[in-house]
Amino acid sequence: MAEKLSNLLDVLSDFLSHRKGLLPIIGIALVIANMILNLITTQGWLAESDLLLHLGVIVAILGFMLSAAL
């Protein structure tokens, strides 16, 4: 189990080291998708909870932190 996790992290690290801007772009896209969703509808748990906004900010911050580390 630990070996599989280690291999997964190695592959993920190698993938992201060549695409440093991928996670921030995904995060920005999630924030924009949340804005569009809130413009279209204000009902439903997805729009009310701002889930895409929170996920987008977290993914973008992690992307910036990982790009500096890799």
Per-residue pLDDT of the chain (70 residues; tens, 9 = 90+): 889 889 988 888 888 788 888 999 999 999 999 999 999 987 888 888 899 999 999 999 998 888 877 6
Question: For residue 30, how many other CB atoms are within 10 A of its CB?
Answer: 20
Angle, helices 51-69 vs 22-40, to 10°: value is 170
Total domains in the fold of the chain: 1
The CA distance from 62 to 65, in Å, is 5
Q: Report the predicted TM-score, pTM, of the whole model to 2 decimal places.
A: 0.79
Can you give the residue range of the structural domain that contains 13? Answer: 2-69
